[in-house]
Amino acid sequence: MPTRQALIDIPVDGVHIAGTLIAPSTMVPGVLLVHGWDGSQQQDATRARELAALGCICLTFDLRGHARHVAQREAVTREDNLHDVLAAYDTLVGHPAVDPNAIAVIGSSYGGYLAAVLTSLRPVRWLGLRVPAIYRDENWEQPKRRLNGDDLTLYRQTSIEPEKNRALAACEDFLGDVLLVESENDTIVPHPVIENYLAAFKYVRSMTYRVMEGVDHAMSKRAWREAYTQIVVAWMTEMRLAAKAEDRTRPREQPQRYETWLAASPAQARSALQEPRNI
């Protein structure tokens, strides 16, 4: 079994003695699932369980303006919801068993748009986008409900350069692995939007693109939702296997040195062993 180790100094009677903490490499990938507008975390529950069965720790959550906070629906902004995603991401990464260098973010529609923007603010290794929406950068702090209309419909039919859109610019800078899923019969996020996202991902490590034939934006049939779950699970399985193969071929790292060790408490020992690994 692979192990992690850290060199430590243990204070005793006014001096420090050397020690080495050794533990199994039990840190696992974390997966953040971001629902779309008019959705909720319940839509991701089954998907999260399937991913958890692969050995991932998953976090679903409700964006403000939905579920418990539906009263804020008319006032919530993209800035508010981006803060929600950031807070959820930080909560997931803060879990003691989550490897902070092995984070996947999977978003649908509006959640996909927010997930793309998130990659410019937090480290993400794997990015899954299903029918990701797109919006103009202008009026960022205007209530999200006011962004819909004929102007947005026309905007989503145009070719957009990454430097002119915050989400696409984040995609252009993204260097990890991407899953992009399109619905063939989507009238809300039409094909030109998908083309813009595909064109923006110029430097990614891998791109997996799937078109779900006959499917609408909301995946209104149970069979479609189940098919999408299988796409996500298959992709994450492939990504995890690739990551493990990469780990086996990378030279073994030297133990990290901790010069100051104030107390050899269990909590501090866990903290030392949870230092991020390069994956």
76-90, 140-154, 203-217: least confidently modelled range? 140-154
Q: Is 272's pLDDT higher than 80?
A: no
The class level of CATH for 28-249 reads: alpha beta
Describe the strand order of the beta sheet including 3-12 as a list of residue ranges. Answer: 15-24, 3-12, 256-257
Rounded average pLDDT over 259-272: 38
SS3 content of the chain, % helix, strand, coil (to 5): 40, 25, 35
Where in the chain are the domains? Answer: 28-249
Quickly state the pLDDT bin for 148 (edges 50, 70, 90).
confident
The pLDDT tens digits of the residues spanning 40-62 come to 788 889 999 999 999 999 999 99
Q: Is 132's pLDDT higher than 60?
A: yes
77-81, 95-99, 111-115, 203-207: least confidently modelled range? 95-99
pTM: 0.81
The tokens for 86 are 């950031």
279 Cβ neighbours under 8 A, 6+ residues apart: 99, 101, 102, 125, 243, 246, 247
Torsion of CA 111, 114, 120, 122, to 10 degrees: -60
